Structure 1
């Protein structure tokens, strides 16, 4: 046996690793069995307490909201005037009922709001009740302070409905004399939805009750138990929980043997109610037995599988594959795949060679894809420009210009001349760059046409540093922004408006700003545009196409300009938008002061 082990490092490592694994696995099984009961019970208790806390917070919100609504109602001037008037005002009554109905409809847990007016021997209610058991809970005329009733049934057009009612006196805000009473009824069915989803402990066999300070069940999933005392089903439980205002929240075990249950409770001190959750203990005891069985099975299977796998892969497979996994995990898609050198002729060696061929193939495909995309964009641009024969277009527009002048149509002549100059710079003999002065002249030609189309509607203002005229920039950046300001800002405004072109130097950058005093944008629309531009700046490939499709109906010109700025100048040059409703919009961008020396010769 010793010679057999010493003759192979694989056997040594396999036997040592198997023996070192068996002992921890056995200890782990014993440890899991010993503490599973405590862990499962603690997890069930903590999960129940967390859930109960969420339920109590929801209940607290509802209670506080009901009190806020009641304070709002009793302080309303219309209600105060109606309740204090010597005679009933039918118009005021209708308006108050409408107000009550709107409030009740806005909160799904409010079943009814009623104002009792003893002066007129009447009541104002949001719903017509055929029958109500409120009189069995409290005598309205004897209510001197705000209070909650127990649960009772009312019958309306929807049928029988369990409700819990909050009542408070309605007093004059001037002399504090009693005027009547206000009641707000909670729909118990809606309220119970907050605790209808129990934690997945005990195969969903847990129960939740909402009880008042007298131990009466106010709300539960089991509607047959409503209004019944909890003590009748669980004797002595209320004594252990405590229902006083100073009682603490907590948990306890109730019952013995198979009837043992874990009880968690929290007090709501705003209304004097208590939330009680009970989970049968035998459910997580059954889980403990299942955990024990599962642990034993896992330990045995782990021992067998580990012994077989260790023996097969310890010498040759594990280390090379782990090395390859680390290389792939830390590889960056932007760079070539790292080298994986294995000097062998077995499967691992062949895998290494295949890995290298695969990496080279990916790099070639990436370069080919980049070239194809660049060629495609260039071809699309050239095809678009080729659709208009420049010389034919210029000659035709020139002929129209002179005919208009000879006919005395000076406006038409000026409009055609502006259009001709506009198209001449737009095409620019296929060049992508122009001078700042050319770009500004391009805007002047564009606005010459637009001012004829919309006389006395728009005025241009220029604030330009003429020392920047000779600098080079990407062409056709300002025109879409000016067009956007004209169409979406000035044209929608009542009366004339002004578009201002502002150009200045900021350090090593040239800052362009297009400002208008049009209708501006709402914050939601402004945020939508900013989000669209931000997504365009961070998208690529198919993801970029999805961004374009998602905003295909709006902001196309802005998105196009932003994309060109990003591709040519980087993220610092992208568009910035500021706007306020009815105050106007400012769109700005910046380009480097020394624009690409390689492009200087491209200016026309």
Structure 2
């Protein structure tokens, strides 16, 4: 017992630990990608905002006028600088906006820079298309700053000639604040922004700025997929990390997140300790249970075993003496109750077998008689056709199909669609006999058409509805056959708007269907064919599907009657269903 408990627990603990590790890692990756997505949203907003500001400035009338004029206009220049300063001061991440004229030596700028490393990045006068520089340092009145600059040519809106260049510088410190909120990897992860050349533009570690990513993580860039985002494992041992990337397609930059791999181990250590504690506790409980079973249960059970070994299959179970109220005493009492129940079941089985044989004989008679008529009706059908009596031929053909389905090669089960066809043939025969007296509608769930059911269950119900409901009513009536699937069962309903029944008559019919009703009382109550047909269907349902499958009847005088029952769904033919 101890081994049988410990081995599954060890396997379960190992499986839980491995699965937890994988789930934790995958969850951290997904969470990290989502964090990078939020960071990229903030970054995209800044990039788009800078683009919009640049478009606004290059199309501004004063800027176009100043750069297109033959000489510098100080008033226009002052207005332009004031406007740029207003734009720069409204954006906390913009450190400087500058306009370099192709003709004039003076540069319009919103900041006073004492020193700038921009010339080491790019010669602004050779820029022919918009671009972003790498990160570099500038020095102003507040000290050194790391900035990234967006540069684009400034052209005339009239003749598209080159007038100068526009440069908008972004403070790396301001945008790097987005890399810390929300936190990556519960605050233990690192984030870096890399441009198309693989140079780090911004990072949570300031020592990484302007360095190639390959210098810090050799071979990492080649491992990244071309997808918008992705993840991979980099490094070995203590330096093992999960690398996440998210691309910003508008400028070709890439956000890279690094999460230490030992973070997963710390989270999974709790699962490991819990598993060990569960196994140890299970071992102690198992030892105690084994001792208890050996001392308190085994000996009384041996006595019960010897008693059971002496059982005679043809005789009732011997009684077990119950002298205690503990578990063994309750087991002995249950054993005695089981013996009495078995005897009761034997008697009930004998009665049910007799009832089933009786019902099977009645069903067999219903099959044998139409079998003789089937061949005869086939001949009548051809004689009617040769005599050009189409109505007679149709009626005989429908009756012939009706009888053929009733036979069903002697098999008790067939598909639902065959039962529906059986009713349609019956209705066709009756429609010729009683023209314009009734209509029959079918509302059938198509998914149940090929499911199997006990044959000849619905036709007697439809016949009762027609003979005892519709025919006794003045004018035409309607019969509806409804089938739906509910809670794994096939639910049948036969509904008519015929004459209905009084409450006394309905009570008598219901009483006649009770399986334990006195046989003589049944014969008295069931003298009419309506009770016989319902009783026959009800008994076949109970015998083949169990006591819960009996029919239910509801009726109101001059309003109609509804008869319903539910049976299990059978996927295929099972002639030994009762077993």
Report the TM-score when normalising by structure 2. 0.46
Report the TM-score when normalising by structure 1. 0.44
